[in-house]
């Protein structure tokens, strides 16, 4: 990559990091939100899942915006995120909290689809998986930072003040995107880049093309991984740890931090390995590990829950690899749209994961988690057959 590309990648990582701290801070506070606001499980699941619903609804528009005006997409993200966090910090009635959560999901979509599009444009060639996983590394580091902030901030603080304090890094994102947008096509107030309409027209013509079987399998794996992440981190670990094992805010943060820490440790090595031996065998191992982690987290005792968190983090280290496979089978004209379509499936699963858990309740949630684990094993078998 050129020096300019490296600089842009570094700024993208900074934006992703500072935008995901508040994502990590939300999970450990979920039991306190339930108690303070008097929310039943179904409302709690809806509140947690509305983040994914906003992402799902915004993915295709965000993909189209990133294709035509990448700088605008990234510039709007921190502004929207700040608005959502301010609404959540009011600890207002349930509809206000849902609206705040929806805005944070919209902001996350803008930053992730925009960042992925920017990286994927330069994705083919040596080190492709490492570049994708570097972006994911920045996001996971942000999530870990949010978890750590919740664990270290005074427990006497109410949940909304803690969440707002953990969201302060978003102040770094806005100046970073303003600098970054100058080097990207379609910055705020700028004319569309030369050839923009022709590229957009080519993308529109390319959309109806059938997805190759391997791309469909990657879509399925992305959905399974998203269901696992949202259900486990946004519902199962916080509520199971609190209600079954009596863990406090710091204990829940510790469990979630363990998964994120393992993810961070293995993320770049997994990307390096995928570039050396190919993505399919690495993804097969990732799917098996994820399935084992889900069984331990959903059904195990406290020691098995801890082991499951570590396995879950190891499995989630392959989160970006399906996009690398999709990129191998996608031309540039279709890239923004197909990235957005992939994110629709992923973010729809992020919405459904906690919502399904909330509707099922504590008694039946383990069955759902086990079924997601079985789906991960089934995908691993399919990948093994080539």
Q: What is the pLDDT of residues 302-338, one digit of tens each?
A: 999 999 999 999 988 888 788 878 877 777 666 667 7
pLDDT at residue 333, rounded to an integer: 65
Instruction: Supply the pLDDT for residue 134.
Output: 78
- pLDDT number for residue 97: 94
Q: What is the DSSP string of 153-185?
A: S-TTS-HHHHHHHHTTTHHHHHHHHHHHHTTSS
Does 2 map to a domain?
no
Question: Is residue 266 in some structural domain?
Answer: yes
Asked if the structure places residue 140 within a domain, the reply is yes
Whole-angstrom Cα distance, residue 61 to residue 59? 6
Predicted local distance difference test score (pLDDT) of residue 248: 86
Specify the pTM: 0.71
Structural domain count, the chain: 1
Domain housing 114:
7-384
Assess if residue 372 is contained within a domain.
Answer: yes
Question: Is 1 within a domain?
Answer: no
Closest C-alpha to 229, from 286, 271, 175, 182: 286
In a domain, 232, yes or no: yes
Q: Which positions of the chain have pLDDT values less than 50?
A: 1-4, 125-126, 186-208
Contact assessment for residue 55 and residue 234, using Cβ atoms and an 8 Å cutoff: no
- Whether residue 145 is contained in a domain is answered as yes
Q: What is the pLDDT of residue 228?
A: 92
**Alpha-helical runs (H) found in the chain:** 3-37, 41-68, 70-89, 94-120, 128-152, 159-166, 170-181, 196-206, 213-231, 237-243, 249-277, 279-299, 302-316, 321-328, 332-384
Is residue 29 included in any domain, yes or no? yes
Q: What is the pLDDT of residue 205?
A: 45
CATH of the domain at 242: 1.20.1250.20
């Amino acid at each position: 990559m050129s020096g300019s590309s490296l600089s842009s990648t570094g700024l993208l990582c900074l934006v992703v990091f500072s935008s995901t701290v508040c994502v990590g801070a939300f999970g450990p506070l979920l039991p306190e939100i339930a108690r303070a606001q008097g929310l039943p499980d179904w409302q709690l699941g809806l509140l947690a899942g509305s983040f994914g619903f906003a992402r799902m609804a915004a993915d295709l528009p965000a993909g189209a915006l990133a294709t035509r005006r990448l700088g605008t997409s990234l510039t709007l993200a921190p502004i929207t995120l700040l608005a959502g966090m301010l609404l959540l910090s009011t600890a207002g009635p349930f509809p206000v909290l849902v609206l705040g959560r929806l805005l944070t999901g919209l902001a996350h979509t803008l930053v992730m689809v925009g960042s992925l599009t920017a990286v994927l444009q330069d994705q083919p060639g040596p080190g492709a998986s490492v570049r994708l996983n570097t972006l994911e590394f920045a996001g996971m580091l942000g999530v870990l930072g949010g978890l750590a902030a919740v664990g270290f901030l005074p427990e006497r603080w109410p949940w909304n003040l803690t969440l707002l304090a953990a969201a302060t890094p978003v102040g770094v994102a806005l100046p970073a995107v303003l600098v970054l947008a100058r080097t990207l096509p379609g910055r705020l107030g700028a004319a569309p880049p030369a050839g923009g309409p022709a590229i957009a027209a080519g993308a529109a013509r390319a959309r109806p093309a059938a997805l190759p079987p391997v791309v469909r399998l990657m879509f399925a794996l992305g959905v399974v991984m998203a269901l696992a992440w949202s259900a486990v981190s946004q519902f199962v670990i916080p509520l199971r740890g609190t209600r079954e094992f009596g863990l406090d805010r710091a204990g829940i943060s510790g469990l979630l931090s363990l998964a994120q820490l393992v993810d961070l440790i293995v993320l770049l090595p997994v990307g390096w390995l995928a570039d050396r031996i190919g993505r399919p065998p690495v993804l097969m191992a990732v799917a098996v590990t994820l399935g084992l982690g889900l069984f331990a987290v959903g059904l195990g005792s406290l020691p098995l829950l801890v082991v499951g968190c570590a396995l879950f983090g190891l499995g989630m280290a392959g989160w970006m690899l399906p996009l690398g496979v999709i990129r191998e089978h996608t031309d540039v004209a279709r890239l923004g749209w197909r990235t957005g379509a992939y994110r629709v499936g992923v973010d729809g699963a992020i919405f459904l994961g906690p919502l399904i858990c909330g509707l099922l309740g504590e008694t039946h949630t383990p069955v759902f988690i086990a079924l997601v684990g079985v789906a991960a094993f089934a995908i691993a078998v399919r990948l093994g057959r080539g």
